[in-house]
Amino acid sequence: MRVLVTGAAGSLGRAITVGLDRLGHEVVCLDLVPPVDGSPFAWHEADCTDADAVAAVFAEERLDAVVHLAGTPEEAALPDELTSHVITTAALLDAMVAHDVPRLVYASSNHAVGRTPRADGELGEHVPPRPDTYYGVAKVAAEALMRLFAERHGTDAVACRIGSFLEEPTSVRGLSTWLSPADGVRMVEAALTAPAPGYAVLYGVSANTRAWWDLEPGRRLGYEPQDDAEAYAERIAAGPDDEAEAEFVGGPYATARLHRPALG
């Protein structure tokens, strides 16, 4: 499969590009920055918010799927978040329809449901959107756009609500939300190759003993995580914010420290 990976220079992007290459996929990269020296991949330096630049990439490359990882990973003003996550997704989806590229795998986020109280129990894919930030709002909107294209154009679109992508968990919350690099590759591979998923949501976390999210939606698509954050539990000391970060699914993003005007 020939796969365009946006945000290829980021931490998740680097893991996914290398992992997909090892699995036999042909990887094409797109990012705002140039490739590092010695990169083995075809590389396009472009902004995903620029629909013409995105269309030019699709016109040049024969593609079978898109893995969309580009976007600011931090909280910002609402217009910036919508541009980074929704406009970029729209530009890619338009180009996919125009060039008959049938599948999108999207790095959504647990922050799309981050205001869900932990007291509600394990989260499934049908939990209603409850964003914890403008970042979360933008992820919800991007998911809605994917669903529209799935139902209007027949695009296969898988939203991966990623927890905490790190080499290893670094907090008590991370023991529940961790996604290992190896499981990140397994997740994307499953989302790329699942037969006819239509629009689907899975939770991008490893097989953590303390997991907060239902892994069954991912397993239906073939995602079988292998790693468990519990292997690192003895290394992680309790912290002063652990109780506050466990109140809502979004952890620190659901706390008052990130409150700001929507347009400020």
Given 135, 199, 223, 253, which residue is catalytic?
135
Q: For residue 132, which of 263, 261, 256 has the smallest C-alpha distance?
A: 256
Q: Which residues of 55-69 are buried (b: 16+ CB within 10 A; e: fewer)?
A: bebbeebebebbbbb
Distance CA 177, CA 206 (A): 8
Q: Does the CA dihedral 188-113-135-91 come out positive or negative?
A: positive
Question: How many residues are present in the chain?
Answer: 264
Identify the CA nearest to 219 among candidates 248, 244, 194, 246: 194
**Is the separation of the CB atoms in 189 and 20 below 8 Å?**
yes
| CB 109 within 8 Å of CB 138 | no
In angstroms and rounded to an integer, the radius of gyration of the C-alpha atoms of the chain is: 18
Amino acid identity, position 43 = W
- Is 135 annotated as catalytic? yes
Q: Which residues are catalytic?
A: 135
